Structure 1
Amino acid sequence: MDEALWRKSSYSGQEGNECVEVAILGEGAAVRDSKDPGGGHFVVPDAAWTAFLTEVS
């Protein structure tokens, strides 16, 4: 994950207290808390990530 390009959600709070970052991977997407980037992440498979985006948009 050292080479992953992390992007902060445009829906994250302006005060920086509710920040989520996403890195698009070949097999899906990784999600982490931007306030604690070394605290871990989870990977979501392509189909689940697509379903999530469909539901929230």
Structure 2
Amino acid sequence: MEIREYHSNDEVGWLRCRALSFLHTAYYDNVLREKEHYKNPSIELIAIEDGIVVGLL
């Protein structure tokens, strides 16, 4: 597994992970169609396994 910075080409995998993480929570209906962008500097890390986004940090 690799932990690295998020890149724009990771967006689809990022969205899948986010949707799955909210599936059985009170936020299940907070589905995004594109990744949010932050005004202030932020740390955006993802976990990659076999070329697939498997986690958001």
Give the alignment's TM-score, normalised by structure 2: 0.25
Higher-RCO chain (CA-CA 8 Å, sequence separation at least 6):
2
TM-score (norm 1): 0.25
